Amino acid sequence: MITMTHYLVFSALLFCISVAGIFINRKNILLLLMSIELMLLSVNTNFIIFSNYSNDITGQVFVFFILAVAAAESAIGLAIIVSLFRARNSLEINLINKLKG
Amino acid sequence: MLENLIISIPILLVLSSAVMGFSSSKLTNINAGIISSILVFISFIFSLVIFYYSFTNENSILYDDFYQWISISGLNIGMGYLIDKLSAMMMVVVLLISFVVHVYSIGYMRDEKDFKRFFSYIALFTFSMILLVMSNNLIQLFIGWEGVGLVSYLLIGFFYKKESAIKANLKAFLINRIGDMFFIIGIIMIFVLLDSFDYKTMFSNLKLVDISNLEYYYGFNYIDIACFFLFIGAMAKSAQIPLHVWLPDSMEGPTPISALIHAATMVTAGIFMVARLSPVYIYAEVTTDFILIIGALTALFIGVIAIFDNDIKKVIAYSTISQLGYMVSALGINAYTVSFFHLYTHAFFKALLFLCAGSVIMSLHHNQDITKMGGLRKRLPITHFCFLVGTLCIIGFPLTSGFFSKDLILEVMLYENTDLSFFVYILLLIGALVTTVYSLRLIFIVFYGTYRGGDIKKIHEESFVILSPLIILATLSLISGFVIHTFVELPIFMFGVKEIHYEGLLPFISHGVLSPASVTLIAGFFIAKHLYLDNKEISFLSNKYFKKISMIIKSKYKFDEFFLNCSDFMKATSYFAATKFDIKIIDSFIVNGLPRKINKLSTYFKSVSSGYLYHYAFLIVFSLVVIFGIILARVL
């Protein structure tokens, strides 16, 4: 029997993987974008679980909004990445350290 | 009508100053001088009208507060005038001397390039002095006070290419700053006590003050301290020991200025101020004793210096300080009218002496050294006559103006009948002897004997423009003493002050002639005759003891050195503060040191922001975890 705990653990694992993806990954900025998407998905999963559990449709409706926004966001992200690539001819994160104080 | 006259006096004067100061070269020097003199003459006529009104209408005080300058709750500073007998008299004296000096200056300054600048300054001076005299509150008096100080500074340094003139005017300015600082403190203290700057309100509030129940500080009551501070301001302005050092040096200015500013009017501003505030000074018993001592010391000891100086103007300057000492000591026994009487006669004869000295200096082509003069009596008869009149006045020869005023001071001093006043009386009596000696010395050395400066044939009298002011002033010096009864009855402001023992003109004269002052006069004459007319000075001074005394006096009691040492000490202190405190502590420790420390500290924190995205992301997540962990730990 798959209980709610299993779902929550799964969602937490997914979130941890994506967080790890953000700061262990040092190669490609595209992977960074994908990790962020994954993070959003794990949060969505939580929404769906709680919505189902409390018999409230609002959570599931919200997921659609988040998906739409995430899609728009990744489109912008991709555009930024493309212009970044044009400017610097590489997508290596190690080279992007201009945020230094 | 009268109000308009009063207000138009300062307006005319400031107009004259502005016209002279801003006019183009189309206005020739002579015309400028004539216009300026006419404007001053008109103001003089106006002041005579006011004077006539004040002295014919009993208890008449013209008062108006026509402009409110600053008005904050409880603090009202206005512009206005208060004309009583005191200020009406003072205005007439100031404007008369000013007019005479204007006329004289047309002749005296005719070859100067900066002729119009000179006239602009003296008109500005007269304006400031009138502002001071006719003011109805302490702030306006202070504005006038500073104004005359400023013009005095400008005029001492009139020959600004001469180094000594620049040094002298700086000295005058700095010494006056010392006085002014205390003067402001005094004004504020008076305001705190009486809650107003306006004389009328001040003096009516004074009646409400419980005099016997004042606060005491270090054993002096509040009014004593306030009056003391005010008097220090007067000491600087009226050149009293030890703040007198600027006045002899101020002789660097043109001679008409010495007559107008540094003899007749500005230096008497201090005496005027004390007389104006006499209702307050009556309650300052300790301070008046201090005033008495300062005045007497100045009268005697500065007079002595005049015997040994060889600069014709400086001798007269020292005698001015000495005569101011007489006035101040009369203030010290609350005999304000007597002091003011001496101020009034002194203004005429001292201006006369200075203008005569100027005439001599001009005839000798700007030579001021009396050792190079002598026997000028034949070549400069009119100047000699006027100088003789001035000298007779200052030594108090019977029936001249100085006789009345100086004898009156000595009389009231004797009638005061306390130990201190008797001591002061003795000092003033010796001072009278000294006055006789130095005045006669000057006239003997300059006008008698033989000429010591080359060809006497080349010397001749100056033009009529120079001589007519001398004659006017000589006449005034001779007759001005006969109005003595006016002064004896003259009430200073609204309060009746000291009763003066006076029985009428003839008893006064006979009493004065038979007083000890006549003995000093005769003794002084014979001493001066013996030393300077018969030329026994050198043999007299070769005496061992007199040589030592004269050395002390010639050093002017080292007052200049005292002030120099003071300023050296302050310089050393400020140098110490600048190098040790300012550079070491403030600059290198606080101003530069603190940022250096912060900079060092920030290098550690700086390494946190590496610029790598994953470091930032890690930090965000890590801190979130920590925060949630803390919250969870609390909840559980």
DSSP B338-379: HHHHHHHHHHHHHHHHHHHHHHHHHHTTS--BGGG---TTTT
Separation between Cα atoms, residue B314 and residue B320, nearest integer Å: 9
Angstroms from A40 CA to nearest CA on chain B = 15
> Is the confidence at residue B494, as pLDDT, over 60?
no
One-letter amino acid identity for B311?
D
Give me chain B's average pLDDT, please.
87
Question: Which chain A residues contact residue B611 at CB under 8 A?
Answer: 96-101
The residue of chain B nearest to residue A100, with distances taken between CA atoms, is: B611
Angstroms from A76 CA to nearest CA on chain B = 18
Lowest mean pLDDT among A86-100, B264-278, B464-478: A86-100
| pLDDT for the residue A99 | 66
Helix then strand count (H, E) for chain A reads 3, 0
Question: Which chain A residues contact residue B615 at CB under 8 A?
Answer: 23
Which SS3 state, helix, strand or coil, does residue B137 take? strand
Angstroms from B619 CA to nearest CA on chain A = 10
| pLDDT mean over B393-411 | 88
> Is the confidence at residue B58, as pLDDT, over 80?
no
Nearest by CB to residue A97, choosing from B610, B618, B621, is: B610
Nearest by CB to residue B614, choosing from A93, A98, A100, is: A93
Angstroms from A46 CA to nearest CA on chain B = 18
Lowest mean pLDDT among A45-59, B168-182, B534-548, B608-622: B534-548
CB contact under 8 A, A100 and B609: yes
Q: Identify which of B101, B159, B144 has the alpha carbon closest to the alpha carbon of residue B472.
A: B101
Question: Which chain A residues contact residue B616 at CB under 8 A?
Answer: 99
Question: Which chain B residues contact residue A93 at CB under 8 A?
Answer: 612-614
CB contact under 8 A, A25 and B614: yes
Nearest by CB to residue A22, choosing from B610, B611, B617, is: B617
Nearest by CB to residue B614, choosing from A26, A98, A100, is: A26
Lowest mean pLDDT among A53-57, B277-281, B305-309, B545-549: B545-549
pLDDT over 90 percentage in chain B: 36
Angstroms from B587 CA to nearest CA on chain A = 29
> Is the confidence at residue B495, as pLDDT, over 70?
no
Residue A74, CA distances (Å) to A40, A77, A81, B104, B481 in order: 11, 5, 10, 99, 110
Which residue bears the tokens 């005299």? B133
| pLDDT for the residue B205 | 87
**DSSP strands (E only) in B498-622:** none
CB-based contact B434:B303 (threshold 8 Å): yes
| pLDDT mean over B618-635 | 91
The CATH code of domain A4-95 reads: 1.10.287.3510
Strand partners, B71: B76
Chain B (592-631) residues lying within 8 Å, Cβ to Cβ, of chain A: 606, 609-618, 621
| pLDDT for the residue B492 | 61
Residue with the bigger pLDDT between B76 and A15: it is A15
Buried b (16+ CB within 10 A) or exposed e, B19-46: bbeebeeeeebeebbebbbebbbbbbeb
Nearest by CB to residue B613, choosing from A19, A96, A101, is: A96
Angstroms from B636 CA to nearest CA on chain A = 20
| pLDDT mean over B379-407 | 89
Joined tokens for residue B40: 């001053």
Residue with the bigger pLDDT between B187 and A100: it is B187
The residue of chain B nearest to residue A95, with distances taken between CA atoms, is: B612
The residue of chain B nearest to residue A97, with distances taken between CA atoms, is: B611
| pLDDT for the residue B209 | 82
pLDDT digits (tens, 9 = 90+) for A31-87: 888 888 999 999 999 999 999 889 889 989 999 999 999 999 999 999 998 998 898
Most B CBs within 10 A among A23, A30, A38, hence the mutation to make, goes to A23
pLDDT digits (tens, 9 = 90+) for B513-540: 888 888 888 888 888 888 887 777 676 6
pLDDT digits (tens, 9 = 90+) for A14-29: 999 998 888 787 778 8
Q: How confident is the model at residue B491 (pLDDT cuts 50, 70, 90)?
A: low
| pLDDT mean over B270-287 | 89
pLDDT over 70 percentage in chain B: 97
| pLDDT mean over B360-367 | 85
| pLDDT mean over B585-593 | 88
Give chain A's contact residues with B (Cβ, < 8 Å): 19, 22-26, 32, 93-94, 96-101
Longest Cα pair distance anywhere in chain A, in angstroms?
A: 53
Nearest by CB to residue A93, choosing from B606, B609, B613, is: B613
CB contact under 8 A, A99 and B616: yes
| pLDDT for the residue B634 | 92
CB-based contact B160:B195 (threshold 8 Å): no
Q: Identify which of B40, B6, B31 has the alpha carbon closest to the alpha carbon of residue B469.
A: B40
> Is the confidence at residue B255, as pLDDT, over 70?
yes
| pLDDT for the residue B152 | 92
* Phi, then psi, of B523 in degrees rounded to 5: -60, -45
Nearest by CB to residue A100, choosing from B611, B614, B618, is: B611
Separation between Cα atoms, residue B260 and residue B587, nearest integer Å: 50
CB-based contact B79:B126 (threshold 8 Å): no
